[in-house]
Each structure stands twice: as C-alpha cells, then as structure tokens.
Amino acid sequence: MPVSTLRISHVGLRGIVGSGINPERVMEFASAFATFLHESGPVVIGRDPRRSGVMIREGVTAALLASGRDVIDLDVVSTPVIQHAIRQLKAAGGISIGASHNAAEWNALRFFGPQGTYLSTPEAGELLDIYHLRHFHFVPWNELGQRREDHTVLDSYLDELSRVFDFEQLRQFRVVVDCSNGTSSLILQRLNELYGFSFILINATTDGTFAHEPSTSAKAVNMQLAPLIAPLKADAGFLFDADSDRVAIATETGEAISEEMVLALATDHLMARAPGKKLITNLSTTSLLDEIAKSHNGEVIRVPVGRNSASDALSAYPAEEIALAGEGTGAVMMPQFRFVYDGIATMLTLLEMRASREKPLGDIVAAYPKYCMLKSEVPLSRQRIPQMLTTLEERFSGGRPNTLDGLRVDWPDKWFHVRVSQTEPIVRIIAEQKDTPPESMFNEILDTVRTYA
Amino acid sequence: MAAREHLLKIGVSGIRGVVGEFLTPHMACEFAQAFGTYTGRGRVVLGRDTRASGAMLEHAVTCGLLSTGCDVVQVGVLPTPTIQMYVAATGARGGIALTASHNPPEYNALKLFNEQGQFFNQFERSELIDLYHQGDFTAEPNSGIGSISVERSTPARMHIERVLGCVNQKRIRKKNFRVALDGVNGAGSIMSPRFLTEELGCELHAISIDPTKPFPREAEPRPDTLGDLAELMRTTGADIGFAQDPDGDRLAIALPDGTLIDNDDVLALVVDAVLSRMAGDVVVNLTTSSVIDEVAAWHDRKVYRSAVGEANVVERMLAVNAVIGGEGSNGGIIFPTVHYCRDSYTGMAFILDMMAETGKTLPQLVERLPKFTRLGVKMAFQNGKLGSIIQGFEQRFPNATTDRSDGLKLNFDDAWLHVRASNTEPILRLAVESRSPERAQQLLETGTDILKG
C-alpha cells in the first residue's frame, strides 16, 4: 500500500516537504483560510524551527497579504503562544506552521479562529471546500496587507501563566527538560531569565536540526532525558514535542512514565479542585481516568479520537462544567487557558501537584492502581473495515459496545478499541485491563482483524 | 480598433501583470520555482522597486526559490542596475528584480537575470518559459530547502564605487553643481541623493524621494510627466535636473529652463564622453537617432544597430565588444565597464563629469550636437497586419536601404523611417528622423497614411 506523504483534512494540511507539502499547496491553503475568515483583523503566524518552516512562512505570508490581511509574524514560537497571541493581539485568526511530534522531514499548517480556538468540524469543512474550489479572495494592489513582527507575546504568555500558577512555589524544583530542539526551549529559557526558574535544558538549540524525533513517547524519554535525571539529582524530567503542545515525563529516578499517565495525573490534580466536573477525552484513553474521575464525583465524556471531536465536545458543554480535556498522547487542555493544548501549562500543573502532595513523583505515580494497555496496528484495506468491525461486535457481544469511532467494547475491568487511523492506512487496536495485560482478548482481536488484511 | 488591455502577460520576457486578480502571489511563486529549477541550487539575489505590491511578491518569490533549494539573498529596495551588478559581482546563480519598470503602480513584474547579472537571452528565456508551463519543479525535502540572508548596504556601495571609478570624482565635487532630482519615490530614492550629495558634492534639490510613498506622477520620465521637475528647475536655478523611473534604470535630463533634453541627445552626450576616454565601438537600437552615428564619427568609431529591447542591445554589445551602448528611444544608457545593463547612475556621473571637465554649461554641451527632427506616432495594433504594412512601406519606398531585423527600417540619404510592433503593448510604433524638419514631417504623414491602409 502506498505510504501517503500528504494529508489534507479537517485538521489542516500535513505532509512530507517536497513530495507532499509544496509552495503551491501551502499558498492555496493560506489563500483559502484568508477567504474563509469572517472577522476583520490581522492574522498571526508562527512556526517551529524546522528548516522548511521559513519557506512555508514566506508562502503563507504572501498569500495572506494578497488577500488584504495584515500579518503578524511571531517567528519561532510554540503553538499555544500563537493561540495566546491571537487573543492578545485581537487577531482574526492564526496559522501554526509546524509538524508537532513528526520527524524533521514533515511539516504542517494548522488553523485557528478568532479566540485562538481550533476550528470546529463545520468550519474546517468550509475551509476545505474553499481550498478545493480555489476561488480565492484577492484585493487590488493598493489594498494589500502589511506584515509586522511581534516579540512581546511570549512575555505576555508567561505573565498569563504566572497569574495561574504559584511560580514562587514551583521554581524550587530542579527539573531537566528535553526540548527536542523545539519551541519549548525559548519559553523555558525565558522562564529562567524572567522568573528565576532553573530548568536544565537539553536539545535546546532551535536551528532546525533535531537530535531525535520530537515525539512524546516513552522511547524518546528514555533516549537522552531519563539517564540524566538521577545524576543531576533532579525532581523530574519533561520532554516536549517540537511545538510544545504535548509533554512526556520521567520520575526523579529516571523512569519514563507512560504517556497515558500525563492526563491521569492532571485529571487527579485538577478534579480535586473542581469536584463534580467533567473530563473530555477520547475513546482510546485509559480507564484509570474513569476511576480517578469517580473518586472526585466527576464524569468522563468520551468522544472520537481527534482534535476536532474534542473541540466540538467542548463547545457542546457549558465551560464551567468542564475540569479539563485531553488525549493519551500527553496533550492536555485546561479552562484557565481557554482550552488550548499546552505542554508548558501541563508541566506546571504536574509540578504544582508534586508540590501539593509533598511526595516524589515516583511515589505519586506508584500509588495509582495498575492498568495494563496493549497496542498494535494492522495495515488493512479500507473496503473490508465495516465487515471486520461487525464481525468483532458479534464476537464480543458480551460487552457494552460503542460505535462512535470504530468499535469500543467495555467490560467492568477491561475494554478494547479498534479504530481506523485518520493519518495512515492502518487499523489501530488498543486493549486495557486492570492489574494484568489482556493478552488472550488482545490476541483474539488481532487474529480476527488480520483475517481481513 | 481599441487596443486590448493586457492585464497579465506570461511570455518570453517573464511575467507581468496587474496585481490582484491577475498577477497573484501563486503565479509569482510558480515562476520563481521555474527559475530556481532552471538555475539549480545556489544563491539567487532578490530585490525590488518601491511599488506597493513588492513586499508581498517578495515573500511569494522567496517561497518558490527556497523550495527549489536556492538560497535567497534579499537586497530589498534597490535600483535594477544595482541588483544586476550585485548578482554578477557575488557569483550568484541568478537574480530577480520585482519591478514593472515604468509601468503604472498597479502593475508588477519579475525581471530575471542570469549569473552574469544580465537579462536572459532569447534562448534562455524560452527554455525557462517551457519549464514554467511544464510545471515539474525541483521540490527539495526539508534538508535541502534553501535559507534567506539579508544584504542591505553592500550592493548600493558597490554600484556607486564602480560608477565613481569611471569619472573624475574630484573635479565634479569641486564644481559643487546645483542639481534637481525627481526620484518618483522609486528604488533610487535613498541611493540617488547619497550619490549626488555625499559622493559628487552637489547641492541637491530633490522631490519625490520617499520610498514609502506612491509614485507622485506617471512612472515613465517624459516631458509631459515631469512638470514638477521643470518647476523645480526654474525655482532653484539648478544647473541640471535628473529624473529616474521607479527602478532606476532609465534617466531623463532637464535643462536649467525646465525643458527636457531629448533622450537620444542624452545618450549622444554619454557616447561622446565615453568615446573620448576609451577605444571601442557603439551599439544602439534601430530606433535610436542618427546623432549617435555623427558623434561616433567624431571619434572615428563604428555604430552597430540591434532590435529594440535592452536584452537585444546587450546581446549585440557582447558580440561586438562595444564600449558603450543604449536605447535613445527610452533613456537607457549601457556602459559595460560598470555593468551590462541600463544604468541611470552612469548617465548622471558622465554628464556631470563632462560639465566639470569642459567647464561648459549643460545647454552649451547640448548645443554642440547636430540637430535632427525626430517624430513618431503609435497606433493600435491589429494582429497579423504588420506583414502587409511592411510590404506597403517597401512598395512606397523602393529605393531605400532596408533592415528587417525588427519590423522594418528604411534608410534614406537624408532621413530614416522605422515601423515596428511594441514588445510590451499591442501597438505599432512609427518613428522618422531627418535633419530637415519638413522632410521628417512629410515622411511621418506618408507613413501614417500607409499605417492607416
């Protein structure tokens, strides 16, 4: 099966530069976005440090200016800072240039609305329609937009963080951070300068080369970050993806914690202050979340995997009823930050938890009941997927089925979720059980799925 | 028949059009991709004139060049000759100037230069346009994407130094000439005042030298567009007046009484100055005045003629190793010791140097030139009619010597006549010249009758 190097979807444009992402697509998408925007005002743009980001920035800038939009260029910044800047600078929207956790050869465009929010599914659909129709709005030569740079928003973003978190308390910790040569480096250096933190940074250069793939997996944490923690006598280690919306953790002993635990820890800490409120997450995250929510009289709302589904769900509940939202990948959104996936805010939340528990991170993590997750993926022809899902549903008819996104089946102490990847021609299989791995169920699912391969 | 407006023209001379619905950043980017594919990896110099759309197109062209692996050297707002010279001096792979030269402000265009900083010759141009239409551009992966560097002061300094190396700067400075300048708020707005005051010690009275403002007059420097300069000459009592076009390649010169010197006579003065110092021949286009032949005869030098168009004159100059050349018809002076391009700065320097050397006033210098009567008309062009018009002229004047290298030129003992189709507009131009005003008038009338069929 051909491996796709380009994906144009509700999330935006993503692909490998050269074969998938080229100037034509970048400019057409930016023109479509300019045509799509209703509100007046400038458009904020920023990028992660990938080499191709400069080329893409130039194309995006030209297209926006040609549509009469002023452009405010933040240069290399994290995606959450772009979202913050959209509100701060009263912009009509924003574009983030960067491929998050993907390897260096990838890049992507993501689009944000007037409040720095992710586009809703209908909005994203309209943007795609305009892109495909290619009827773009261009203004005459004497109404073109103007470009300017802004270097003040990072400080105003940090100021916003300082008003939510007790920096006095948090800067006592000795923390090692693997910046993955991404945008977190600039933020954390500034936190050290302005607020007296002492983050120890590795892979902190932002010249466009990546020391390792900027993914927030346990594998990435173990590569360079984990071995440094004990020798440096640090309280914790954190690793960010390139655009700093996700985070991964290691304990004070240098043990990489499963990325699933980031949302679990954040939920426990935030729900304790907001009992009875809701957590919005997807169908593939751990049941530990349900257990934690229950202990705070909270509720878990499970939606299909993907950022659009999460933001659609957020808009469907009153904001004051929601404690937080997040994914099993280490991406967490909080109401104090207007529901933006923000790795830096997540890290500070976890440090705050560490401070309030007055226990080493390792001990905090060890106190939770053990859930064992098994994951796999199988390449599958799209044509036979519906049949495969039906077969699975029949075979596991003893559980409680949920078909919002592929098939999830729940039992009191275990569950599995079989879904189709949005980004690759594969089917993802996740199964989880309390205390011990659900080996036999997992193997049975795999065997069934493979008969359709 | 009314001339049809060509709002976008993509052809062997590049891409030119009205910015907005017609010339879009997408097209400019694609053209840059074709250019970068043609030149291959390496440095490409990118500059522009002051028109409002320049910055927007600069981003688009930068995007296209970076995607093909070219490194972009952004020199910002500079005269076209300065950009060309910088390309050649720095061993770049090529250069692009964003300028529609003397066209109105709503137009813009890409002027393309090879690694010698010269216009592409006809063969290079047709190869490039084939690449553009084919659309199969080099698309580098992330690791191969080019980078941007910014060079602001070196190119102008280099250009000015070269020009000053060809004249006696000291004796010009001593004269402390009173000079009027109309910079049309163009690309020479910063460089020309510096050149005239700091380097040549003139007392400068300048108008329209704010590069951030729109063109205050029609962009082409002609008697009917330079009323403000004429007024300035009269009120300041200047010894000489200079007017540039938006990209600083063309030069018009005003006498102290405010009248303009005919462009052919300006070229004749410079040819005289150059031939007094250097041994070599002259190349001008077919429509340039016979005054050049007379001046060349003073120095016992030969005059070669080429088709109209800077690229054609330069091609011929290279072939015959000429020391000076140009196009009297449009105010272009080409002096290869500085560079193979039309250069208003060379023109200014030589005329001032002549005044300083001879101690004569500008009117006295012009007085020495033999007098010709030059007349011309232009007429809306009916496609396909040029051939029969040429036949009509040949039948009417069977005894004239003919040159068919660009339309038709008829040479008589006491006069000449030239009819040709414009390269840039859908019009026919008829030019006649004779020492006798009556003869010129009579030729023009006969010619006009033939044109009207």
Of B91, B83, B95, nearest to B38 by C-alpha is B95
Question: Among A110-124, A226-240, A311-325, B3-17, whose mean pLDDT is lowest?
Answer: B3-17
Q: Is B101 among the residues known to form the active site?
A: yes
**Shortest CB distance from A17 goes to which of B19, B59, B141?**
B141
| Model confidence, pTM | 0.92
Does residue B22 have a pLDDT over 50? yes
d(CA B114, CA B97): 12
What is the reported pLDDT for B1? 35
For residue A103, give how far its alpha carbon lies from the nearest alpha carbon of chain B (Å).
10
Lowest mean pLDDT among B101-105, B184-188, B413-417: B101-105
pLDDT-above-70 percentage for chain B: 97
Comparing alpha-carbon positions, the chain A residue that sits nearest to B33 is A23
Contacts across the A-B interface (CB distance below 8 Å):
123
pLDDT over threshold 60, residue B4: no
The partner residue sitting opposite B142, judged by closest CB among A28, A61, A105, is A105
Residue of A nearest to B21 (CA): A138
Tell whether B104 lies on the interface with A, counting CB pairs under 8 A.
no
Among the ranges given (A175-189, A404-418, B70-84, B414-428), the one the predictor scored with the smallest mean pLDDT: B414-428
Asked if residue B23 has pLDDT above 60, the reply is: yes
Name every residue whose Cβ is closer than 8 Å to that of residue A213 and which is 6 or more positions away in sequence. Answer: A101, A102, A103, A104, A220
Which among B44, B132, B142, B213 is the top mutation candidate for probing chain A, defined by the most A β-carbons within 10 Å of its own β-carbon? B142
DSSP state of B224: G
Of all residues in chain A, the one with the smallest CA distance to B30 is A24
Find the mean pLDDT for residues A146-167.
96
Q: Identify which of B33, B143, B147 has the shortest CB distance to residue A23.
A: B33
Task: Give pLDDT, residue B12.
Answer: 60
* Environment class of B21 (CB within 10 Å of its CB; exposed 0-12, middle 13-18, buried 19+): middle
Q: According to the model, what pLDDT value does residue B178 have?
A: 98
Is B147's CB within 8 Å of A107's CB?
A: no
A444: pLDDT strictly greater than 60: yes
Looking at beta carbons, which residues of chain A come within 8 Å of B28?
62
pLDDT confidence bin for A3, thresholds 50/70/90: low
Q: Does B12 touch chain A (CB under 8 A)?
A: no
pLDDT tens string B230-286 = 999 999 999 999 999 999 999 999 999 999 999 999 999 999 999 999 999 999 999
Indicate yes or no: CB of A141 within 8 angstroms of CB of B53: yes
Tell me which of B16, B18, B26 to substitute to probe the interface with A (most A C-beta atoms closer than 10 Å): B26
Q: Which positions in chain B touch A140 (Cβ < 8 Å)? A: 19-20, 106
Question: Where are any strands of DSSP class E within B397-451?
Answer: 401-403, 408-411, 415-421, 427-434
At B295, which amino acid appears?
V
The band of B3, judged by pLDDT with boundaries at 50, 70 and 90, is very low
CB contact under 8 A, B26 and A139: no
Whether B53 sits inside 8 A of A139 (CB atoms) is no
Q: What is the pLDDT of residue A423?
A: 67
Q: How confident is the model at residue B187 (pLDDT cuts 50, 70, 90)?
A: very high
A109 beta partners:
A13, A97
Residue of A nearest to B18 (CA): A141
Given a cut of 60, is residue B2 above it in pLDDT?
no
Kindly provide the residue ranges of all beta strands, DSSP E only, lying in B230-331, ordered along the sequence: 240-244, 251-254, 282-285, 303-306, 324-327
Residue type, A256: A
How do residues A36-79 score in pLDDT, each as one tens digit?
Answer: 998 999 999 999 999 999 999 999 999 999 999 999 999 999 99
Residue from B50, B61, B67 whose CB has the most chain A CBs within 10 Å, to mutate: B67
CA contacts within 13 A on the Cβ side of B32: 37
Q: Give residues 248 to 277 of B whose Cβ lies within 8 Å of A.
A: none
Contact criterion met (CB below 8 Å) for B17 and B1: no
| Cα–Cα distance measured from residue A332 to residue A243, given in angstroms and rounded to the nearest whole number | 14
Tokens of B105: 């402000």
The 3-class secondary structure across chain A, one letter per residue, is CCCCCEEEECCEEEEEECCCECHHHHHHHHHHHHHHCCCCCCEEEEECCCCHHHHHHHHHHHHHHHCCCCEEEEEECCHHHHHHHHHHCCCCEEEEECCCCCCCCEEEEEEECCCCCECCHHHHHHHHHHHHHCCCCCCCHHHCCCEEECCCHHHHHHHHHHHHCCHHHHCCCCEEEECCCCCHHHHHHHHHHHHCCCCEEECCCCCCCCCCCCCCCHHHHHHHHHHHHCCCCCCEEEEECCCCCEEEEECCCCCECCCHHHHHHHHHHHHHHCCCCEEEEECCCCCHHHHHHHHCCCEEEEECCCHHHHHHHHHCCCHHHEEEEECCCCEEECHHHCCCCCHHHHHHHHHHHHHHHCCCHHHHHHCCCCEEEEEEEEECCHHHHHHHHHHHHHHCCCCEEECCCCEEEEECCEEEEEEECCCCCEEEEEEEEECCCCHHHHHHHHHHHHCCC
**What DSSP character marks residue B138?**
-
Q: Is B63 on the interface with A (CB under 8 A)?
A: yes
A27 and B25 within 8 Å at the Cβ level: the answer is yes
Chain A residues in contact with B105 (beta carbon < 8 A): 141-142
- Tell if the CB–CB gap between A104 and B108 is shorter than 8 Å: no
Averaged over A119-140, what is the pLDDT? Answer: 94
Decide if pLDDT at A136 tops 70. Answer: yes
Compute the nearest-CA separation of B152 from chain A (Å): 18
In DSSP terms, B94 is beta-bridged to B44
Among A136-145, A354-363, B2-11, which is the least confidently predicted range?
Answer: B2-11
pLDDT at A21 over 70: yes
ipTM of model: 0.90
Judged by phi (left if over 0) then psi (alpha if -120 to 50, else beta), residue A368 lies in: beta
B5 three-state secondary structure: coil
DSSP, collapsed to helix, strand or coil, labels residue B47 as strand
Min Cα distance B31 → chain A (Å) is 11
**Is the pLDDT higher at B120 or at A413?**
A413
Put simply, whether B105 touches A (Cβ < 8 Å) is: yes
Task: With beta carbons under 8 A apart, name residues in chain A contacting B63.
Answer: 23, 26-27, 55-56, 58-59, 62
Q: How far does the CA of residue B106 sit from the closest CA of chain A (Å)?
A: 6
Token readout for B115 is 């690694």
Measure CB to CB from residue A18 to each of B55, B106, B140 and give the nearest one: B140
Nearest CA in chain B to A5: B141
B182 sits in which H/E element: strand B178-182
Contact B145 A52 (CB under 8 A): yes
Nearest residue on chain B to A142, alpha-carbon basis: B52
| Residue B25 sits at the chain A interface (C-beta within 8 Å) | yes
Q: Under an 8 A CB cutoff, do B20 and A138 touch?
A: yes
Q: What is the pLDDT of residue B84?
A: 97
Per the CB < 8 Å rule, is B25 touching A63? yes
Contact yes or no for A141 and B19 at CB 8 A: yes
Residues of B whose CB is below 8 A from A27: 25-26, 29, 60, 63
Residue B433 has pLDDT above 80, yes or no: yes
pLDDT at residue number A1 = 41
pLDDT tens figures, B336-387: 999 999 999 999 999 999 999 999 999 999 999 999 999 999 888 766 778 8
CA distance A112 to B427: 50
CA distance A184 to chain B (A): 21
Shortest CA gap B345–chain A (Å): 29
3-state secondary structure of B281: coil
Cβ density class B216-230: b for 16+ within 10 Å, e for less: ebebbbbeebbebbb
Catalytic member of B13, B53, B101, B306: B101
Summarised one tens digit per residue, pLDDT across range A275-319 is: 999 999 999 999 999 999 999 999 999 999 988 889 889 989 999
Quick check: B67 and A147 CB within 8 A?
A: no
Average pLDDT, chain B: 93
- What are the chain A neighbours of B53 within 8 Å (beta carbons)? 141, 144
Whole-number pLDDT of residue A11:
81
**Residue B233: helix, strand or coil by DSSP?**
helix
Q: What does the pLDDT read at residue B381?
A: 74
pLDDT in tens, A376-405: 999 887 888 899 999 999 999 999 999 999
B56 vs A17, A62, A136: nearest CB: A62
Task: Point out the residue among B51, B62, B142 whose CB comes nearest to the CB of A58.
Answer: B62
Give the separation between CA B300 and CA B281, rounded to whole angstroms: 9
